[in-house]
Amino acid sequence: MSENKIINLALVCCGTVGGGVINILTKNHALIKKRLGLELTLKYVVDVKRPDELDEKLFPGMKFCDRIEPVINDPQVDIVIHLVGGEALEREFILSSLKKGKHVVTANKALLAKHGAAIFREALAHKCHVGFEASVAGGIPVIKALKEGLAANHIKAIYGIINGTANYILTSMQRAGCSFEDALATAQAKGYAEADPSFDVEGIDSAHKITILAELAYGGLVDFNSVYAEGIERITLNDLRYAEEFGYTVKLLGIAQMNQKLDVRVHPAMIPTQHLLAKVDGVYNAVYIEGDMVGPTIYYGQGAGREPTASAVMADVIEIAQRLISNRDKNAGDYNVLNYFSKNSLELLGPENINTGYYIRFMTIDQPGVLAQISGVLGAHKISISAVTQKERHAGDIVPIILMTHTAPEQAVAAALTEVERLSVVKEPPLKIRVMNELSGEEK
């Protein structure tokens, strides 16, 4: 730690979240100093463009540069805040910082999901701390909850609405009665969705985040490439309305639970409307965690955005600063590394081994005998139907047939749907949405 009771920070990349970090350091400077008992000072800002938020008078001696090497080579820098997107360059930056003995804070979920092992092993080797609260749910302190608040629990399950863009789209469709395409366009116009929204709507972003949560909860490394991810692109307004009639709300859900093997996946799910997760709307996120001792807990808030994410970044900075002040873990490295990321890889349950109920939509020619053909195929695969609806009747037209099933093996459902799709009366691939009846924690 730097002398004279000052902890020197370097901020690498001053985009949206970086601007939020500067804003917090500026507006809440006195509060942070009071709580820490010393100064946090911004010694470097690394970017190609000087940020508008930067008031250099508040940080005497601060240096602005467009290269990271001065930061890495300055022995007075204690903590480096890495907010660069992407993987290859940011991985190089973080590893270089750790090799120089600098503590690191990052919000890069894709990097941690894919390369966390290398980063945390490097941190352990150089007795450094790595903070990553902002990588999963923006301003929601779910990482700290798993590491500390629930540390005495075996984690039974995690269910997370952890992508605000997808949640906003589904909420907009439901409320405004619009199509997926129109809801996406609105999200892009409001800045909630990127010009290329594929990571959000295809479930990839959520998969990054649930991978990190699963590693923390179950004490091992998860192969991100083995995590099943399915998005919301095929869901229609009618699907949302049918779900509501059956007593469910559709959400893009990240799931991690131990069932002999670790089950980690992302897909649209039908949640009972009385469950707390079903009430999480718009760009908000929520993570439901059930421990064997504490029971169900839920963490709710803004999962993205400038200030909420910057708040999580600064929480890590302050925690590391507190450790430096008290010299905790001085010779042990980051205890998070020792207890979570230095273990063996966890074997994942394949998605074909899931057992759940299903909502299935078939688009078929409206003619006699169609339902009998479909139900016959499902019956041959021992899939039991619990409910059927077919509201739009126009002889000869293409109409939806909606089935709800009892609990069935995913493998059997997939085989049955492949067979049904070959029927001449079925005019597009069936859509299935898994039904989460096993969720506890319903609002009473």
Q: So which residues are the catalytic ones?
A: 209
Return the half-sphere exposure (C-beta side, CA atoms, 13 A cut-off) of residue 131. Answer: 28
Tokens 């010694």: give the residue. 43
- Report long-range pairs for 174-178 (Cβ below 8 Å, ≥24 apart): 174/237, 174/240, 174/244, 174/249, 177/237, 178/237
Mind giving me the DSSP string for 145-187?
IIIIITTTS-EEEEEEE--HHHHHHHHHHHHHT--HHHHHHHH
**Cβ neighbours of residue 34 closer than 8 Å, sequence gap 6 or more:** none
CB 398 within 8 A of CB 426: no
Q: Left, alpha or beta for 195 (phi > 0: left; psi -120 to 50: alpha)? A: alpha
Spatial separation of the C-alpha atoms in residues 127 and 330, rounded to whole Å: 7
Spatial separation of the C-alpha atoms in residues 221 and 347, rounded to whole Å: 9
Spatial separation of the C-alpha atoms in residues 34 and 147, rounded to whole Å: 26
Greatest Cα pair distance in the chain: 84
Instruction: Tokens for 186, please give them.
Output: 């609105």
Radius of gyration of the chain (CA): 24
Return the half-sphere exposure (C-beta side, CA atoms, 13 A cut-off) of residue 386. Answer: 12
CB 128 within 8 A of CB 134: no
Q: Left, alpha or beta for 427 (phi > 0: left; psi -120 to 50: alpha)? A: alpha
Q: Left, alpha or beta for 281 (phi > 0: left; psi -120 to 50: alpha)? A: beta
Tell which residue, 283, 284, 289, has the closest CA to residue 301.
284
3-state secondary structure of 85: coil
Spatial separation of the C-alpha atoms in residues 71 and 39, rounded to whole Å: 19
